[in-house]
Amino acid sequence: MKQLGVVLKSKNKMNKTAIILGASGLTGGILLQKLIEDSRYSTIKLFSRTRIEGLPNKVIQFIGDLVDFEQFSADFIADEVYCCIGTTAKKTPDKKLYKKIDYGIPVAAAKLAKENDIPTFLVISAMGANKASSVFYNRTKGEMEQDVLQQGIMNTSILRPSLIGGKRNERRVLEKIGIVVFKIIQPLFIGPLKKYKIINAESIAQAMLNLANNTSNKEVIITSNDIIQLAKNN
């Protein structure tokens, strides 16, 4: 498995179907809008707990509890899966429930993608993901990565962004403070430290779209600074 080194070659396929998990979140919402505007996609399937209003006819919504993912098996058919699922310790303080979301949903989706012969799977992880970490958050992300990769989906991309910047609908006071501090010290992040710079959700969404529409036939892990570069390859 490679970490970095993705050579993009356009697929130029039309009338595609994309699945998004986490379309109500910051990155997932931006990605949804990009897919709606992209003529290569005729159908976009959203799997979520709540309905998003005001979407065009090319978007089909499947509503249910994502923790019970098998209920969606008959409808989980597409060319690509974009997994933007993620919660926070503040929103989900119960560690068992946290793991069901951040680990359980991406892994269940990857297993279903493999069963249904979906060739492309992209998932947002986090910088510091490490299955051997003593930090619960990092360990959960690392275990998720490992079990997603074990499915052997032809094109699997794991994105490890640093702190994600962008306008959220929900209040995250501590995160906002962290972003302000990071912006102040951004000039210090040079050389090997570049991967720790704040990354905009827009860049993550664009990088995912670019990766899905270019051939690689590889399993890749992409760190934050490389996500930014991939986002520029429009």
What residues contact 101, with CB distance under 8 A and at least 6 apart? Answer: 66, 67, 85, 86, 87, 92
pLDDT > 90? residue 145: yes
pLDDT tens readout for residues 27-41: 999 999 999 999 999
Residue 1: band (very low, low, confident or very high) from pLDDT cuts 50, 70, 90? low
pLDDT tens readout for residues 166-219: 565 555 555 555 545 545 555 545 555 555 568 999 999 999 999 999 866 677
The model's pTM is 0.85
Residues of the chain with pLDDT > 70, as a percent, come to 79
| pLDDT: which is higher, 86 or 17 | 17
| Partners of 20 in beta bridges | 46, 82
C-beta neighbour count of 40 within 10 angstroms:
16
Residues of the chain with pLDDT > 90, as a percent, come to 68
Residue 7: band (very low, low, confident or very high) from pLDDT cuts 50, 70, 90? low
- CA distance to 5, 34, 78, 118, 134, per residue, from 18 (Å): 25, 12, 6, 10, 36
pLDDT of 183 reads 52
| pLDDT: which is higher, 215 or 88 | 88
pLDDT tens readout for residues 41-76: 999 999 999 999 999 999 999 999 999 988 999 999
pLDDT tens readout for residues 115-128: 999 999 999 999 99
| pLDDT: which is higher, 119 or 87 | 119
**Phi-psi map region of 78: left, alpha, beta (phi>0 left; psi -120 to 50 alpha):** beta
pLDDT of 63 reads 96
